Amino acid sequence: MRILVINGPNMNLLGVRQPEIYGKATYQDLMDLVKGEAESLGVEVDFFQSNHEGALVDAIHRAYFEGVEGIVINPAACTHTSVALLDAVKAVGIPTVEVHISDPDSREEFRHISYIRAACVATIRGHGLPGYCEALRLLAGRSPSHTPPEGGTSPTL
């Protein structure tokens, strides 16, 4: 099983600022943690991080054409603004788990809305970095429901 872990804007700065909210671990630490979990589950994992909404949409499309079977996504600030990400996850039909390190529902009002949630099989929030591992376990335990297209990658992406 192939799983793609997507992180949105500013997640590359993990561990650099606001450790009181997001902890001291870096983005590299996050990838190492998830790689370890993937290994013990026997699943293949890839990572993508971008500060650009369109690049996140493109990554979701690529996942479809490359036959990725599960997506773990922390859209970061795009959680609260992006209908484009919601539409992308709906369009590709790949089982997707939304993850947040903090619990946005217990923070500012504007963080209480998640557009992408409606397209996700689950949301894990407020569990810190281990939340990504929970998401991986959840996806690894599902039987595949997404049939990748024949013929490899999209020529336009």
- DSSP line for 76-122: GGGGGT-HHHHHHHHHH---EEEEESS-GGGS-GGGS--SGGGG-SE
* 138/1 Cα distance (integer angstroms): 12
Which region, left, alpha or beta, applies to residue 103 given φ > 0 means left and ψ of -120 to 50 means alpha? beta
Backbone angles phi, psi at 135, to 5 degrees: -65, -40
3-state class (DSSP) for residue 48: strand
Least gap, CB of 56 to ligand CA2 (angstroms)? 13
Q: Which is nearer to ligand CA2, 34 or 69 (CB)?
A: 34
Residue 22 is a catalytic residue = yes
Count the residues of the shown chain that bind ligand CA2, applying the rule CB under 6 A. 17
Least gap, CB of 120 to ligand CA2 (angstroms)? 13
Least gap, CB of 106 to ligand CA2 (angstroms)? 10
Q: Which residue among the candidates 22, 64, 115, 132 is catalytic per the annotation?
A: 22
List 1, 77, 84, 138, residue binding ligand CA2 (CB under 6 A): 77
When asked if residue 13 is in the footprint of ligand CA2 (CB under 6 A), the reply is yes
Q: Which is nearer to ligand CA2, 26 or 66 (CB)?
A: 26
The label of the residue with tokens 């036959």 reads: 67
Residue 132 is a catalytic residue = no
* 56/92 Cα distance (integer angstroms): 13
List 3, 76, 89, 116, residue binding ligand CA2 (CB under 6 A): 76
When asked if residue 146 is in the footprint of ligand CA2 (CB under 6 A), the reply is no
Quote the Cα angle for 70-50-22, to 5°: 85
- Catalytic residue ranges: 22, 100
Residues that bind ligand CA2 (CB under 6 A): 10-11, 13-14, 16-18, 22, 74, 76-77, 79, 100-102, 104, 111
